[in-house]
């Protein structure tokens, strides 16, 4: 079993990017050899309206030993055309799939 902490976000270098830090904790009895982290990134308008969600994925910081935790910071970006001037991104959920 692999649990994922709530994402901690920071501004990226571009308005369509964000730095997202999460901790992956392996509570199972065997190591996590590989997998994927998926990020649900919301595009937020100037008035706070959520215009949509874009899902992207990146590799897990594997291997993660049984009983261990790994903290990882990812740069999560959506296509620049999705985030016009005055809008921003907000990654609200991170999930993981593993082997």
* Domains and their CATH numbers in the chain: 2-98 (2.60.40.10)
Structure confidence by residue, pLDDT tens digits, 10-47: 999 999 999 999 999 999 999 999 999 999 999 999 99
| Alpha carbon distance 62, 40 (integer Å) | 21
Average pLDDT over residues 70-97: 96
DSSP state of 82: G
Average pLDDT over residues 74-78: 97
| Alpha carbon distance 99, 77 (integer Å) | 25
């Amino acid at each position: 079993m692999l649990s994922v902490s709530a994402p901690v976000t920071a501004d990226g270098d571009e308005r369509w990017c964000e730095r997202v830090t999460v901790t992956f904790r392996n509570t199972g009895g065997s190591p996590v050899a590989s997998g994927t982290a998926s990020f649900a990134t919301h595009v937020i308008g100037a008035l706070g309206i959520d215009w949509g969600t874009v899902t992207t994925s990146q590799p897990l910081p594997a291997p993660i030993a049984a009983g261990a935790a790994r903290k990882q910071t990812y740069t999560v970006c959506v296509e620049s055309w999705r985030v016009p001037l005055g809008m921003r991104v907000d990654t609200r959920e991170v999930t993981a799939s593993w082997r």
